[in-house]
Chains A and B, each alone.
Chain A
Amino acid sequence: MKLLNYATSYFAGLLLVVISVWAALFYFNMLDEIYDSMDDGLENQKILVVQKATRDSTVLRQKEFEAGYFSIKEIPFTLAVHRKDRYQDTLMYMQNEQDFEPVRMLTTVFRKEDQYYELRVITSMVEEDDLIEDLLYSLLWLYLGLVGSILVLNNLLLKRIWKPFYHILQRLQSFRLEEAKTVPVQKTNIEEFQLLNQTVEKLLQQNVATYQNQKAFIENASHELQTPLAISLNKLELLAESQPLHEDQLQQIGSVMENLERLTRLNKTLLLLSKIENRQFAQEEPVPLEMLLQKTLLDFEDQLSYKDIAVDLQVQENVSLQMNPDLAAMLVVNLIKNAIVHNVNGGFLRIGLSKQELTVENAGQEAPLDGAKVFTRFYKETSAATSTGLGLSIVKAICDLYGFRVAYGYRQGHTFTVTFQKAVASV
């Protein structure tokens, strides 16, 4: 729910309570006032009737209301004593309405020539249910009117007031660390928003600076490692060539070289990963995947035949992906290399390409891997000494970059599936 509407919903609830309480108070007050004035009227009529009765005794014969607004009845003294004026609501049949309608009746007693009479004066009264109905409708209109005005006010006025806030939200939403460009600040007179703007701006700048530093650090660290690695490796090569060396000495040198080479690969791969994540592969073009798969399989043919792996490439449709060609090659190479390295002798490698996805399935150890960890850096299922544990991280990083989904599953073999649709669209 939007902030503006959230406030409005509270207003609406509060108004409902306030208006209901107000309506009740108003209703009873008004009723009280009406009764008051009716009773005054009845009192006045009583005096008029009594005065008239003293002059004209025919009045005393009006036993029922009939054409008049009063009736008079003789009563014995015993009933007359201690009688006070009594106002009450009652019903009478009204000819015009053809129904019983409420009336206000004053019952009083007066004396004429030692004879007591009971006088009842009536006046037609407001119909309470009609009054309540009318009041309810007017209140409903008032309520709706108020809520409507608040909505309009919120949407016009408050929206304008909160505009800087929404602008900040939009800035934060569109903010990408790696792009390091920020949407310009919108000026505002409201102190809180100015503060918010400043704080957000400072936070973003700090983040960008930290990120840039980190990026530069990783890159520099990797670059700085290259030279000592190069020197060590080349010096060892020179040492290995210097004669004469025993076989076991050569073997030691060879082992050190192997480890240095491994370190070199690790370093290169980390550098590559940070480059992918920093989006340093900008240039894009349509890359036909079938050709890329065939070329990669050709590059690996010696390893495939050495391990006696049966390759099955099924292409339903030759898909071209809009991406950086080097990254596309790295994606395919790492998937296939992974499938070869972790394959068994005489195993299989099944590659399927359709419009939606690329699947690479390979034979391997007969147990599913931990799907949650398989793409994390340095995760190694087997203790393959020369494996960097970064190949699938590269696959993941490239997929993330282009919004592809990559998943691991275990069917007849270990299966890696890259789904080309944007991750959001296909969920």
Chain B
Amino acid sequence: MKILVIEDEPQMLDTLVRSLKQEQYLVETATDYESALEKVGVYTYDCILLDINLPGGSGLEILEELKKQQKTEGVIIVSARNSVDDKIQGLELGADDYLPKPFHMAELHARVKSVLRRRKFDGQHLHQLQNVQIDPDKHQVWVAGQELVLNRKEFDILLYLVTNKDRLVSKTALAEHVWGDYIDQADNYEFIYSQIKNLRKKLKDCGAGIEIQAIYGIGYKLVAA
């Protein structure tokens, strides 16, 4: 999978590239409008992470250019301007998603995978991890061919952790992803534990080859058992 990161802030770029490379993606970068336009014009990528504020131009203009060239890259706008207008305009210009800064890496990976899945596999791709199979569209999970019944929250947690397998997922990232943006001011995330506990038990009971580790003080990590 080839990903282009268009980002002018060098430290941000560095972090993004490192994190993406951990997922075995082929990562290329562009740090200004001109070079971004050049790369977009010459090469084809599976996914583009696009910053809106760029030296020399706007990320939205790059979107327009992509549309003009009828390129089918999945584009995720990553912007520090959390503006409704930018979001609407970006999505209208054909962007797949809009991720306001700051974000959790886990969230970025989930979004990238979701875009890749839609764009590259026409949404037909099932997540397969050890003996666990997950269908994100049908909300179904199979363990060793046997269907495992999960409630909506449990399913969302599992899917999120599976997309971020072997990565550390902070409990804030998990809470915001599963319970929505509004959760962000809740005083604690203790209510998450009970859901995780149930999910762990269900996975263990049906002999799943994965397990959810608690990383004390930070969050969770899903690993092969």
User: Could you list which residues of chain A lie within 8 angstroms of chain B, going by C-beta atoms?
Assistant: 223-224, 226-227, 229-231, 233-235, 237-238, 240-241, 247, 250-255, 257-258, 261, 264-265, 268-269, 271, 296, 299, 302-303, 305-307, 326, 329, 333, 337, 340-341, 384, 386-388, 391
Q: Are B216 and A226 in contact (CB under 8 A)?
A: no
1/0 per residue, CB under 8 A from A, across B94-110: the answer is 00000011111110000
Q: Are B218 and A257 in contact (CB under 8 A)?
A: yes
With A and B bound together, what is the CA distance between A233 and B106 in angstroms? 12
Kindly name the residue among A253, A302, A326, A386 whose own CB sees the greatest number of chain B CB atoms within 10 A. A302
Q: Are A261 and B217 in contact (CB under 8 A)?
A: no
Q: Specify the main secondary structure of chain A where it touches its partner.
A: helix
Q: Are A341 and B186 in contact (CB under 8 A)?
A: yes
Q: Are A265 and B184 in contact (CB under 8 A)?
A: yes
Given contacts A226-B82, A237-B170, A247-B216, list 13 more A-B pairs with CB under 8 A.
A226-B80, A227-B12, A227-B101, A231-B12, A234-B16, A234-B102, A237-B106, A250-B218, A251-B217, A302-B192, A326-B84, A333-B182, A341-B185
List B contacts of A326 (CB < 8 A): 84
Q: Are A231 and B11 in contact (CB under 8 A)?
A: yes
Does B180 touch A at the CB level, under 8 Å?
yes
Knowing A265-B184, A299-B180, A302-B179 touch, does A226 contact B101 (C-beta < 8 A)? yes
Knowing A226-B82, A237-B168 touch, does A250 contact B9 (C-beta < 8 A)? no
Q: Are B103 and A303 in contact (CB under 8 A)?
A: no
With A and B bound together, what is the CA distance between A169 and B153 in angstroms? 59
Q: Are B179 and A386 in contact (CB under 8 A)?
A: no
Could you give 19 example pairs across A and B, Cβ below 8 Å?
A223-B80, A224-B80, A230-B101, A231-B11, A233-B102, A234-B103, A237-B168, A238-B15, A238-B19, A251-B217, A253-B217, A254-B217, A261-B170, A299-B179, A302-B179, A302-B191, A302-B194, A326-B84, A386-B188
1/0 per residue, CB under 8 A from A, across B57-97: the answer is 00000000000000000000000111010000000000000
With A and B bound together, what is the CA distance between A29 and B145 in angstroms? 128
With A and B bound together, what is the CA distance between A326 and B85 in angstroms? 14
Does B1 touch A at the CB level, under 8 Å?
no
With A and B bound together, what is the CA distance between A223 and B102 in angstroms? 10
- Minimum CB–CB distance for B155 against chain A, Å: 14
With A and B bound together, what is the CA distance between A257 and B106 in angstroms? 14
Number of interface residues of B (CB under 8 A): 43
Q: Are B217 and A255 in contact (CB under 8 A)?
A: yes
List A contacts of B194 (CB < 8 A): 302, 306
With A and B bound together, what is the CA distance between A391 and B167 in angstroms? 32
Please give me the residue from chain B that is nearest to A272 by CB atom.
Answer: B82
List B contacts of A223 (CB < 8 A): 80-81
Please give me the residue from chain A that is nearest to B85 by CB atom.
Answer: A280
Q: Of the candidates A241, A265, A386, which one forms a contact with B168 in the assembled complex, judged by CB atoms under 8 Å apart?
A: A241
Does B215 touch A at the CB level, under 8 Å?
yes
Q: Of the candidates A241, A261, A296, A386, which one forms a contact with B187 in the assembled complex, judged by CB atoms under 8 Å apart?
A: A386
Knowing A250-B217, A303-B186, A391-B185 touch, does A231 contact B153 (C-beta < 8 A)? no
- Minimum CB–CB distance for B167 against chain A, Å: 6
List A contacts of B170 (CB < 8 A): 237, 254, 257, 261
- Minimum CB–CB distance for A128 against chain B, Å: 89
Q: Are A388 and B101 in contact (CB under 8 A)?
A: no
Q: Of the candidates A237, A251, A303, which one forms a contact with B216 in the assembled complex, judged by CB atoms under 8 Å apart?
A: A251
With A and B bound together, what is the CA distance between A251 and B214 in angstroms? 12
- Minimum CB–CB distance for B29 against chain A, Å: 15
Q: Of the candidates B80, B105, B185, B195, which one forms a contact with A302 in the assembled complex, judged by CB atoms under 8 Å apart?
A: B195
Q: Are A238 and B217 in contact (CB under 8 A)?
A: no
Does B122 touch A at the CB level, under 8 Å?
no
Kindly name the residue among A223, A237, A307 whose own CB sees the greatest number of chain B CB atoms within 10 A. A237
Does B18 touch A at the CB level, under 8 Å?
yes
With A and B bound together, what is the CA distance between A307 and B11 in angstroms? 41
Q: Are A299 and B12 in contact (CB under 8 A)?
A: no
- Minimum CB–CB distance for B67 against chain A, Å: 25
Q: Are A265 and B105 in contact (CB under 8 A)?
A: no
List B contacts of A231 (CB < 8 A): 9, 11-12, 15
- Minimum CB–CB distance for A158 against chain B, Å: 51
Q: Are B101 and A238 in contact (CB under 8 A)?
A: no
Please give me the residue from chain B that is nearest to A237 by CB atom.
Answer: B105
